[in-house]
Chain A
Amino acid sequence: MTVRTSAPEPAAPVAARPPAPVGTSRRGRLRLVVKPFVALLYVLVIVGVWGAYQAVADVPRYLLASPAEVGSQLLDLARTGTLWAHLGYTVRNIGVGFALGAVIGAVLGVAVSRSQIVDAMLSPFLVVFQAMPKIALAPMFVLWFGLGLTSQFVLIVSLSFFPILVGTATGLRQVNPAYRDLATIVGLNPVARLFRIDIRAASPSIFAAARVAAVDAMTGAVLAEWISSSRGLGYLLVEANSSYQVPMLMASIVVIVVVGLALYQLVSFVEARALQWRDPVTA
């Protein structure tokens, strides 16, 4: 999965930098200008190398399309509306599936972190479930839930809930124990403490998980369409592949990569807004 490996890259320089003292906004502003520029440069270099290789090595058309062909294919898909129909379908499925997975993961994460019994009961099952490649389960899901939307959502949720669960449980376990005393002193009941203090305190860990889960949800959506749908970007891939339309195949890949990046950026954006209190660098 190209998307999976390329997605975390934009954040890496941020994480590696030690937290700057408050008030170094000049550096921050500089980064805002430089970052998109670097990204653009990357794209240009990749497209350039790809185009040059295509031209010089004289690769057959049915193996590799040129950037121009892929570009015009993209424009075509956009103009006829095919792209938007498939894109809309996939994005909607990602959104719904991710939301479901996030809710299930968060609820289980709270349960696991609050109750040793639940933790003991759930952990072995979860470890096995997570170790199992979901792509191997996908045909079973189709068998059980049919070729429709249900099995697609099952696959998306099964991929995206787990990171959220782990992130929520880890974050909640790491909440400063003194907050519990504070909650007792000010008279917060356990439920109010969970929502007013603990989840807020755990939110950095939950957001880190959400970034991974969002990309996982996309993998799940595309995979599900690949297997059992007649719509969506995954379906577009299959169709292009089975009819040897290399430009369309590559155009679909480009769209999927862009969707993945956009998702990742969207979560990062929400995260930066929600966690302004935490790290001056991301503020």
Chain B
Amino acid sequence: MTNLPVPATVMVKRPATKNRLGSFLIFLVVSLYFLVPLAATFYWSLRGEKDVLGFEAYRKLFADTNFLPAFSESILNAVATIVLSLIIVVPTAYWVTLRLPKLRPIVEFITLLPFVIPAIVLVFGIIRLYSRPPLLLTATYDSSRFLLICVYVALSFPYMFRAVDNGLRAIDVRTLTEAAQSLGASWPTILFKVIFPNLRVALLSGALLTFAIVIGELTIALYMAQHTLGPYMANLTRSKVYEPSAMAIVAFAITWAAMGIIDFVGRGASRRAQMADTD
């Protein structure tokens, strides 16, 4: 009887155990790197009362008369930033995808500028430009706040444009637009009934990333003398011991909640995409 050659696939042994151990070690180190400071901050935030672990620092934080105004102002700024950013970015990205694809590199470059211009340079440039007529926007608190929102809109561009652009690429926007047009739809109908509903996840991702940036932003708000959460946290660090840690945990929880929402909504979309692929 002749010996049949053993197929190569059977002969090759996968070093599965070694790989798994290596992966686990990397995971462990990275987890510790992130979790230890977080756990320490959380532990510190629980020591607001002498010799007792509790939520005293959180109670004091929420009881502080400056906290809620700063928090609500930051939230309102974030919402205004998101709305303005969507109004600017979505039609731009849509039109670039549909009609002006040659402009894409230029638009991408512009939207990436906030990454290369340091916040401190940006804020001094803005203060210099808008502190004298005819563009005097730093005269009052409200006009400065409007200016701050505009700066945040610019800061949100890299995230918002990328998220919307990816969303538009994923849905074959050109063909969907043409299909809707051939069925008699006008531009507003196409945008509101076909494009926006299919960009739900992308818009939400962009919006929540923008939200996270605005909520935690310090440098620009500080130099523009705004009473938002960033400067409030900075002040808190100078004057209190445990409350800044409680504040950090609250900010962290808000960010994670935002990420959770993106993940939850995105999971539904990716499951649909998966089902379509396996079809």
Asked if A and B are interacting partners, one says no
Name A's B-contacting residues (CB within 8 A): none
